[in-house]
Amino acid sequence: IWETVTSSFASFIHGVQPEHLSEVVRHRSKRMILDSIGVGLVGSTTRVFNIALRYCQLYASNAVSSVYGRKGLKLSPTLAAFTNGIAAHSMDFDDTWHPATHPSGAVLPALLAASQMLPPSSKSNGQDFLLAFNVGIEVQGRLMRFSTEAHNIPKRFHPPSVVGTMDSAAATAKLLSLNVTQCAHALAIAASLAGAPMANAATQAKPLHIGNATRLGLEAAHLAARGMEASPLILDDIPECSGFSAFYGNYRPKPLPLPASSHEFLLEKQDVAFKRFPAHLGMHWIVDAAASVRNLLINYSGSFSPSLIHAILLRIPVSKYINRPFPESEHQARHSFQFNACTDLLDGEVGLNSFTDGCIHRQELTELLAKVLVEHPEDNIANFDKMYGEVALVLENGDVLTDRCDTFYGHWRKPLSRESLLKKFRSNASHVLPEDKVNSIITTVENLENLPDSSQLASSLGRRFFPPKD
């Protein structure tokens, strides 16, 4: 019997064992790890990653942990976690869960960094690594179910900057074999390091939210391991003394059940969404609807001609930070319903190259954006489990072509096939790794339980050096 919600979480983190992971959870979590590595590797080619990397190289003492895509370059564990976390979110290409957060980006870099700092006598194996990853995913999922506010697309703060810091601390605490009391302190310390405002969405600062979450959670676990203490009631709802409830309204915490043979992880019931192109998850609904309408216009007229279009109507949920009529940068474009719909209409696809300056500022796209109108139907809720995207083309002759996407390919209701996920991974990883290394990582992750030393995974991710981009 638990005395507090916080102590129940600490007991779970400390006590859960590999046998508590079902085959479904193992399968889904390994897909998450592979996808996160891929988006991190391609993210290591971005400007924001290289800005952060140059900064971290100024403080490269205790350099034992590998950096995505940089052969021979190592940083301290916390700075490696920071830079790799930034890489994971630098293109907004990482996975998304419900309630809304990016689950893998804050957990995986912390574990990769921590695995390389453990002494030879305490090295973790692949099974330990997979368990710690799932501890982090489970903790953040449970925390986000303590409040109805967390279910919808965020308005006040970026969720992974809060729950990501907590899950990084939980996962690292598990990998470092902290005791129950230390696990509780790690969570409480992490809560004092959490948070980032939504105003920095669609800017270069947004990837810092993931970088900070994974780094600060790792630091919280290390501080707890060295004896730092914090509130033993951080997750409990204490009147007039906010703990984790400071971040969420309608806070109703529940104990996390002790691990048992019957324990069901949230990942068993709620899969994640994998993105097919590097943009905010909401863009995937509107892009799939735009693709269907584009085909309707081609069938209608024999070709796609923007001159036939009088207006473009987007029916989308209310969410200010992803309603951007004329984005001016790649980060704004990744958070613009209008840009992504018009890009797919014009090009027939949205991909990595869609967010270059040349594509963003071309005249034909600007002319198409000027035709966009937006409606917010009451039944279109800003919630990744309930929203839809609808596109209507009003033609110059008055005809209207319309289509709607309720579930895009890659959503948890329509998950990517293994073939599609591997295609995405190979495409991303090949930007910085040769083919044999790409295939080796796939084999390693798919057989992670059999890896004798989990630090081998981190060591395999920095095989090729690319000069920094300005």
Residues 268 and 287 in one domain: no
Residues 62 and 196 in one domain: yes
Residues 265 and 320 in one domain: no
Residues 352 and 251 in one domain: no
Nearest by Cα to 110 from 143, 92, 132: 132
Residue 412 belongs to some domain of the structure:
no
Residues 270 and 287 in one domain: no
CATH code, 215: 1.10.4100.10
Residues 325 and 265 in one domain: no
As a whole number of Å, the end-to-end CA separation of the chain is: 56
Residue where one domain finishes, among candidates 405, 432, 450: 405
- Kindly give, in sequence order, each residue whose CB lies less than 8 Å from that of residue 159, ignoring residues fewer than 6 positions away: 99, 100, 101, 102, 144, 150
Residue where one domain finishes, among candidates 405, 432, 448: 405
Residues 243 and 298 in one domain: no
Residue 260: the pLDDT is 66
Tell the burial category of 241 from Cβ atoms under 10 Å away from its Cβ (0-12, 13-18, 19+).
exposed
Residue 176: the pLDDT is 97
Integer Cα distance of 90 and 205 in angstroms: 9
Q: What are phi and psi of 132, to 5 degrees?
A: -60, -40
Please give the tally of structural domains in the chain: 2
Residues 392 and 424 in one domain: no
Residue 466: the pLDDT is 46
Integer Cα distance of 350 and 279 in angstroms: 9
Residues 286 and 220 in one domain: no
Integer Cα distance of 436 and 383 in angstroms: 40
Number of H helices, E strands in the chain: 18, 6
Residue 410 belongs to some domain of the structure:
no
Residue 449 belongs to some domain of the structure:
yes
CATH code, 329: 3.30.1330.120
Residue 261: the pLDDT is 59
Q: What are phi and psi of 118, to 5 degrees?
A: -70, 140
Residue 56: the pLDDT is 86
Q: Which DSSP letter does residue 468 get?
A: P
Which domain covers residue 69, as residue numbers? 5-275+417-461
Residue 249: the pLDDT is 81
Evaluate if pTM is beyond 0.75.
yes
Residue 411 belongs to some domain of the structure:
no
Residue where one domain finishes, among candidates 357, 372, 405: 405
Mean pLDDT per 10-residue segment, the chain (470 residues): 84 93 96 96 94 84 88 92 97 95 97 94 95 98 91 84 96 97 97 92 93 96 94 92 89 86 85 98 98 97 94 96 94 98 98 96 97 97 96 97 98 98 98 95 97 95 55
Residue 468 belongs to some domain of the structure:
no
Nearest by Cα to 168 from 90, 128, 220, 246: 220
Tell the burial category of 352 from Cβ atoms under 10 Å away from its Cβ (0-12, 13-18, 19+).
middle
Residue 46: the pLDDT is 94
Residues 249 and 294 in one domain: no
